[in-house]
Amino acid sequence: QKVDKGHFRHFMLKEIYEQAEIAALWVGKHLAKARIDSKYLQSDSLISLSLDDEVFEGIERIQILACGTSRHASLIGAYLLEQFAGIPTSVFYASEFRYAPPPLLSNTLTIAVTQSGETADTLAALQMEQKRLEARADPLCNSCQLGITNRPDSSLTRQVSHLLYISAGIEIGVAATKTFLGQLLTFYGLTLAFAERRNSCSKSELRALVTELQELPYYLRKLIKEHDELCANLAENFDDVRGVVFLGRGINYPIALEGALKLKEISYIQAEGYPAGEMKHGPIALLDPEVPVVSIAVPGRVFSKVISNCQEAKARDAKVIGITPIGPETKLFDMLLPIPEVSEWLSPLLTVIPMQLLSYHIACHRGLDVDQPRNLAKSVTVE
Ligand code: G6P
């Protein structure tokens, strides 16, 4: 299948823009029939995920194996599965898991997440887990494996009995963008499906998340366009930086990790992603006028704490860029990338956009090869 850049300067930018359409297709496929009335949970299944009951019945815990950006999507998936659907969930670097797995436990769903379906460490970690299970004299009931990938023709597809295909279209840019969003949407779907079957949250909570997800394509369309311009203007402020610290908390902590990874991958700027509450245990020593802070501050459980972390950063003369809805706190920030006011649950699907566009424009401003960054490969098929 031939893919071209269309009118875009780079594949990465084209793929960032495609995210609104990917969300629209996902909503159309999985949530169009979700009825927002008092009875909808008792009738049809909320979403059709093409998974058989085996995956849902009796699962007591989930472990997720992934690398790179796929691991960051998995961390958000784990937050959703634990906090919304109530299932204990752990995320492992596949490269670590394959040599130091936790003891085997029954009723465990293992999910391998890889956009390419070819990452050697992820495939090997999954295979190792399958072998450990087969080697047991007493089969562990309900332990099964699920793959999440963008490539139905991949090695992963041949290795697992259950597969969720993220349908993001082929991604050319080495730095993953639209496949990250596709992976996130898959985790939202899985979370809704588990939550619905297990009654882990109230109907009104489920309904609120479904309603927000249905509006996601609209939010994304607007946000991508606005932030493309804003980030292009902001990029020159990063000419003389020595490093950048990305802060986020809760469901947005993995977005801080992803923001730092994106910047390293394509701009070659040293960047740290940190949970905002940990700033005082190390990164605060880095801060000065040449080390800006990008702070994801989304109203919710820890909003006031994140704001006070930003005040601490400002007190060390660091420039603070806020990814936050416009409100009374906005004046605190030196630069602003405003996002719509949505629930914390939905927020990572929006806060990731400025992360992608900021790193994209900083790399362009530096004249770097955005689609083919040095030393990196789209999929790493060796250990
Ligand atoms: C490489 C790519 C990253 C990607 C990682 C995992 O390092 O450069 O963008 O996140 O592999 O790839 P996967 O195909 O397993 O998601």
Strand order of the β-sheet with 293-296 is 271-275, 244-248, 293-296, 320-323, 335-336
Whether pLDDT at 325 is above 60: yes
pLDDT (0 to 100) of residue 196: 81
pLDDT (0 to 100) of residue 264: 96
β-strand partners of 293: 245, 320
pLDDT (mean) for 156-177: 92
- Cβ-based neighbour number of residue 90 at 10 Å: 15
β-strand partners of 329: none
Residues 257, 249: Cα–Cα separation, whole Å: 11
Q: Is 29 a catalytic residue?
A: no
Is 242 in contact with 270 (CB distance < 8 Å)?
yes
Is 336 in contact with 330 (CB distance < 8 Å)?
yes
For 369, the token pair is 């090869």
The atom of ligand 1 lying closest to the CA of 175 is 9
Residues 182, 175: Cα–Cα separation, whole Å: 14
Measured in Å, residue 42 CA sits from the centre of ligand 1 at 39
Is 6 in contact with 12 (CB distance < 8 Å)?
no
Question: How many helices (H) and strands (E) are present in the chain, helices listed first?
Answer: 12, 10
**pLDDT, tens digit, for every residue of 231-254?**
999 999 999 999 999 999 999 999
pLDDT (0 to 100) of residue 45: 45
125: which residues sit within 8 A by CB, 6+ positions away?
Answer: 65, 92, 94, 95, 97, 98, 101, 112
Pocket test for ligand 1, best of 75, 115, 257, 360 (most atoms within 8 A of CB): 115
- At residue 229, the 3 state secondary structure works out as helix
Residues 267, 246: Cα–Cα separation, whole Å: 15
Measured in Å, residue 115 CA sits from the centre of ligand 1 at 7
Nearest CA to ligand 1 atom 3: 68
pLDDT (mean) for 32-43: 53
pLDDT (mean) for 134-142: 76
Pocket test for ligand 1, best of 70, 97, 149, 258 (most atoms within 8 A of CB): 70
Of 5, 29, 314, 378, catalytic: 378
Distances (CA, A) of 4 to 28, 145, 349, 373, 377: 25, 35, 26, 19, 19
Q: Residue 286: which region, alpha, beta or left (left: phi > 0; alpha: psi -120 to 50)?
A: alpha
**pLDDT, tens digit, for every residue of 40-62?**
443 344 455 556 676 777 889 99
Residues 282, 73: Cα–Cα separation, whole Å: 25
Whether pLDDT at 152 is above 50: yes
Residues 239, 289: Cα–Cα separation, whole Å: 12
Measured in Å, residue 215 CA sits from the centre of ligand 1 at 29
Comparing 137-146, 151-160, 231-240, 343-352, the range with the smallest average pLDDT is 137-146
Measured in Å, residue 270 CA sits from the centre of ligand 1 at 19
Which residue, chain included where needed, has tokens 């990874």?
A: 261
pLDDT (0 to 100) of residue 201: 84
pLDDT (0 to 100) of residue 41: 44
Q: Where would I find the beta strands (DSSP E) of the chain? A: 61-66, 89-93, 108-113, 144-149, 162-165, 244-248, 271-275, 293-296, 320-323, 335-336
Residues 377, 174: Cα–Cα separation, whole Å: 6
Distances (CA, A) of 277 to 16, 346, 380: 30, 21, 33
β-strand partners of 245: 272, 293
Whether pLDDT at 128 is above 90: yes
pLDDT (0 to 100) of residue 32: 76
Q: Which residue has the higher pLDDT, 204 or 35?
A: 204
- Cβ-based neighbour number of residue 285 at 10 Å: 11
pLDDT (mean) for 127-150: 86
pLDDT (0 to 100) of residue 142: 74
Mean pLDDT of the chain: 91
pLDDT (mean) for 251-258: 98
Confidence of residue 297 (pLDDT cuts 50, 70, 90): very high
pLDDT (0 to 100) of residue 51: 66
**pLDDT, tens digit, for every residue of 101-111?**
999 998 999 99
Nearest CA to ligand 1 atom 7: 68
pLDDT (0 to 100) of residue 20: 98
Residues 45, 134: Cα–Cα separation, whole Å: 33
Q: What is the ipTM score, two decimals?
A: 0.97
Indicate the Cα dihedral angle 152, 157, 160, 164, nearest 10°.
-20
146: which residues sit within 8 A by CB, 6+ positions away?
Answer: 51, 55, 109, 110, 111, 112, 160, 162, 163, 164
Is any atom of ligand 1 closer than 6 Å to the C-beta of 373? no
β-strand partners of 162: 146
pLDDT (0 to 100) of residue 269: 95
pLDDT (0 to 100) of residue 296: 97
pLDDT (mean) for 344-352: 98
Whether pLDDT at 270 is above 90: yes
Whether pLDDT at 74 is above 60: yes
Residues 124, 371: Cα–Cα separation, whole Å: 28
Q: Which residue has the higher pLDDT, 284 or 88?
A: 88
For 325, the token pair is 């809805």
Whether pLDDT at 158 is above 70: yes
Residues 13, 173: Cα–Cα separation, whole Å: 9
Residues 358, 190: Cα–Cα separation, whole Å: 30
Measured in Å, residue 240 CA sits from the centre of ligand 1 at 29
What percentage of the chain exceeds 90 in pLDDT? 73
pLDDT (0 to 100) of residue 198: 82
Distances (CA, A) of 241 to 229, 238, 267, 289, 327: 21, 5, 12, 8, 28
pLDDT (0 to 100) of residue 1: 66
